[in-house]
Structure 1
Amino acid sequence: MRIHVADHPLITHKLTVLRDKTTPSPTFRQLVEELVTLLSYEATREVRVEPIDIETPVAPTTGVQISSPRPLAVPIIRAGLGMLDGFVKLVPSTQVGFIGIQRNEDTLQPETYAKRLPEDLSNRQCFVLDPMLATGGSLAATVDYLFEHGAQDVTAICLVAAPEGIEAMRKAVGDREFTLVVGAVDAGLNERGYITPGLGDAGDRLYGTAE
């Protein structure tokens, strides 16, 4: 398992505004999109490409293009949906699948309620989008599913992560090809399993349903 903390000043600045409880939902959504584009730049450093011959206005040359099968973006519904535009903006040729996992607030365990993914993920590079890596249950279940269906390597993009979630992912993925790209690693989890200082419930704040 590889971990990359993208501690660029622009990422830290945008995260600070995102964390502020007074930041309204429209601004929150825009910042999430911007942050995901920045994080995706780091996450796609190893995206597979192949050579292609082209003609410029001056002379022929050889460049590269995204290889087939194309990368697959997998937002975890619902909060992960708010990250999709930021990723697709950077990699417009990506394909998109969806997985719905919610945390049982009593047991803190993940519960899957929806999947819309290609049946065969052989040789795929998959990019999982999930704003918060807290206990790691939802992300681990998603990553397991992708590997079990043939994914070659999986990268998760999270805005913030807790050390507990990182350790849970380390145990869950073992020696499989998994990379975690995050904007920040926070102090830890509180008694309710929420990241602290965190940024609250990302889904509620994205869609204006926070109390």
Structure 2
Amino acid sequence: MSEKTLPIPPVVLDHPLVLHKLTRLRQASTSTAGFRRLTRELSLLMCYEATRDLVTEPVEIQTPLEKMEGQELSGKKLCFISILRAGNGILDGMLDLIPAARVGHIGLYRDHDTLEAIEYYMKLPDDVADRDCIVVDPMLATGHSAAAALDRVKAAGVKKIVFVCLLAAPEGVAWLNEKHPDVKIVTCAIDRGLDEKGYIRPGLGDAGDRLFGTR
């Protein structure tokens, strides 16, 4: 009988800039434009941590003064995979930092009665199996949508995945650790828990609605 894979502990960012911007993001008075801007800024900070383990290789370059050996990313570039629709708010900022990355999209919605994830769209790069992938979604609530998305990404042959979210609930972290213990979670905070409707408390509301001004 094989040993059970131990889950990778979630990485919770505690940088002062993250704490400050997340507090502003949570506020009900923050406008749609402000919410988008703060999400974009936080995505840059989260991307820095999510890409910490990327492999580099030496390369000889010429500075204005002399030749030297620097480092550049090794192998194929990253793939960012956005869980629609709210994941696009994080995706945009990460592409600012790594514009050469490929992009995939997975469309899932949560059944409000069963809280299960239902797929309506998926498009990934043809060579996604050869790339490290960062899957993005602002909220890790029950974890069902995230786990379903990771199921599909792994079915496409991807071996190394990091999941990035603005906020997580303990229930979502536990579910993702159970279903995908090999996936590292990077988040700005793990909140108190879920309410009876499956929303993160204290949370920041519905990230998609706040990003796109639909409520």
- Measured after TM superposition, the shift of residue 120 of structure 1 is 4.0
Query: Secondary structure of 1:150's match?
Result: coil
The separation in 2 between residues aligned to 1:43 and 1:69, in whole angstroms, is 17
Contact 2:102 2:125 (8 Å CA) reproduced: no
Task: Tell me the amino acid that sits aligned with residue 60 of structure 1.
Answer: K
Give a deviation string over 1:103-145, Cα, whole Å, max 9, x none.
1111110011101102443332100110000000111111121
What is residue 16 of structure 2 aligned with on the other side? 9
The separation in 1 between residues aligned to 2:78 and 2:56, in whole angstroms, is 10
Identity of aligned residues (%): 46
The separation in 2 between residues aligned to 1:83 and 1:159, in whole angstroms, is 9
| CA-based RMSD | 1.2
TM-score, with length taken from structure 2: 0.93
Give a deviation string over 1:41-80, Cα, whole Å, max 9, x none.
1111011222222111111112122223210000111000
What is residue 34 of structure 2 aligned with on the other side? 27
The separation in 1 between residues aligned to 2:164 and 2:24, in whole angstroms, is 19
Contact 1:120 1:150 (8 Å CA) reproduced: no
TM-score, with length taken from structure 1: 0.95
1:145 and 2:146 matched = no
Give a deviation string over 1:177-201, Cα, whole Å, max 9, x none.
x111000000000000000000000
The separation in 2 between residues aligned to 1:147 and 1:2, in whole angstroms, is 20
Give a deviation string over 1:148-188, Cα, whole Å, max 9, x none.
222121001100000000000010013x3x11100000000
Contact 1:186 1:195 (8 Å CA) reproduced: yes
How many residues matched? 208
Query: Secondary structure of 1:38's match?
Result: helix
1:1-211, aligned counterparts within 5 Å? 1-174=8-181, 176=182, 178-210=183-215
Unaligned ranges ≥5, structure 1: none
Contact 1:136 1:165 (8 Å CA) reproduced: yes
The separation in 2 between residues aligned to 1:137 and 1:119, in whole angstroms, is 25
